Amino acid sequence: MDITYLGHSNFRIKTKIATIITDPYLTKTDGDIITISHDNFDRSALEKVIGFKKVVEGPGEYEISGVSIIGIGFFQNTIYVYEADGLRLAHLGNLTHLLTDEIVDQIGTLDVLMVSAQKEAAQNVEKIDPYFIIPMNYQEQGSLDSFLKEIGAPVENLPKFSLKKEDIMEDQNTKVIVLHDR
């Protein structure tokens, strides 16, 4: 699986059989599945995605092109949990609230968590305890530095994150992957 950061909360997640685009914004890209965490101009620019087959907006359970997607409604936002290539990922969208235990249980165990780089998000990260954290929405000056300091985990800077299930060790500590938008 390859994860590329396209800016704001927009990622391209390329699995073996499908490409997921989260919260499309400014970058033109191709993809099969689009998920929208909330309807806003900077999260739902469908015209920027070429060749998509399905748009997922809101809570529910979906099976599209071999990708399992669970949408969990929380305030004005939808959290998405994706399962593909033996990996579980979550995109928290534009979440600005502390997650309840019930929502954390619905999210479940994760390999990768995509979360806004807000200092306050550290509490949500701690509750979920993923193997890898990928910050997003860090365009504000200093927000990424504050977030990384609050998380306190090792950091790796990459242009793209490639991951296979067998790359994850059961007892490995959480690591932050900072992807630089294209």
Q: What is the 3-state secondary structure (H, E, C) of 37-83?
A: CCCCCCCCCHHHEECCCEEEECCEEEEECCEEEEEEEECCEEEEEEE
Task: Specify the pLDDT at position 20.
Answer: 96
What number is the average pLDDT over the span 28-41? 81
Neighbouring-strand partners of residue 114:
91, 134
% residues pLDDT > 70 (the chain): 88
So what's the pLDDT on residue 22?
Answer: 94
- The yes-or-no verdict on residue 129 having pLDDT over 80 is yes
Per-residue pLDDT at 53 exceeds 80: no
In this predicted structure, what is the pLDDT of residue 27? 66
Determine the longest span between alpha carbons in the chain, in angstroms.
42
Query: Per-residue confidence at 182, pLDDT binned at 50, 70, 90?
Result: low
Is the domain spanning 2-179 CATH 3.60.15.10? The answer is yes
